[in-house]
Structure 1
Amino acid sequence: GGGAGGQGVADVRVSVRSNAVFNADIASATADTALLISVGIGLTSMFVCLFLARDRSCLGARPALGGAAIGSVMLATAAAFGVCAGAGVKYNEMVSVALFVMLGVGVDDAFLFVRALEDVLAARQKERQHERADASSLEASLEADIGAALAAAGPSILLSSTTNAIAFAVSAYSPLPALRGFCTYSAAGMVADLCLQLTFFVAAAAIDERRRRQQRCAWAPCLMLDGAGGRRLA
């Protein structure tokens, strides 16, 4: 059209930017990788369970801890999604990737604690070879060992989860709506995972260690192992 002085306006470019268009682009990008994300989560869960059950003996394997590690991440995800949804944070397709992020952090925290517990048990094994193994002494030593393992691994778990939560919380101020939602959900998930790792998973580890000290089979806790390696119902 004509402008002032009869001169036209040339080279005008119109760009449309809206949340709907951006979310549509994110949806099309994540739809192709949804299967890969699901497969990755499944393989990670399988690896955790197999790694913690790597000891082939009925007594030394810890398959229940693998399920507890995955369960704590699932509970943390449910808690984070519930809190964010209740607070009015909009869900978008990119938020589904937060589950994979929380799974990686939660599994890492679980491995840290299990490794610390194994180190504590190995260090105190020689000290207790000649101690009397009655019920009260076993329970007291169990509490001491779990406390020592938590004291060793707790700072690392706290540091990693806190730094991740702070990083996601800062990124939640991004002007991009999809990224803002993803970081908000992830920050809430980091906090929830930290709480569950220090409560739910530690309690599960204590129960599993009590099972081991009572000579119960890891795959069937109702079976007790006798001194000759046999099994009997208990």
Structure 2
Amino acid sequence: MDKEFLTIALPKGKLLIDSIQLLSRVGIECSHVNEDSRKLFYDLPNSKVKIIICRPTDIPTYVEYGAADLGFVGKDTLLEENKDVAELLDLKFGYCRFVVAMLEASVPPKLPSGEYDLSGLNHQRVATKFPRVTETYFSGIGMQVTPIKLHGNMELAPCVDLAEMIVDIVSTGKTLKENHLVEVAPILEATTRLIANRVAYRMKYERIRDLVECLRKDLLTYGG
């Protein structure tokens, strides 16, 4: 194993541009990496780095099994996939929130604290891309629900009586409003994280440590 060479998995989609910009600022010049080329593997010998482009939900798997030493992945994906990887650094970009939302006409009453009273929703159905996160949240507040796994357009589910609630990630909340949904409970906030394969972290510790420190300094400089 070449302890100086790192394979880094980057996510397709909206996180890729920020990932490339961050790596380029810390000396890993990869501005030519882009999703439009359909090329999924880039060799950067000058930086002693290989970059692979993956679906965001697959990155924890690539890292866990050692196909990549490091990965950039949203905390939402990290929590849902629950892979055995080391989380090294909050990269601060790609901010979103997990929320519970319902149709305006169905929202429960509020408690004196101002929070919505979810107790009447016990044993109800929840449409979500994130069944593990959903079950963890509701069990944490003493409730049982039935997650219904969907891959997109969560907002449709309450409109057609597929589910009473949704759990989804939002950034501005605009899509919820456009579909007459109301956020009734926040779950957690999520940003992009740097993760590592546990074996690679031991075998390539100095190289990974140096990269982490460069990233940390960059985040302080640019206020990430």
Q: TM-score, normalised by structure 1?
A: 0.25
Higher helix share: 1
Q: TM-score, normalised by structure 2?
A: 0.26
Bigger-Rg structure (1/2): 1
Higher strand share: 2
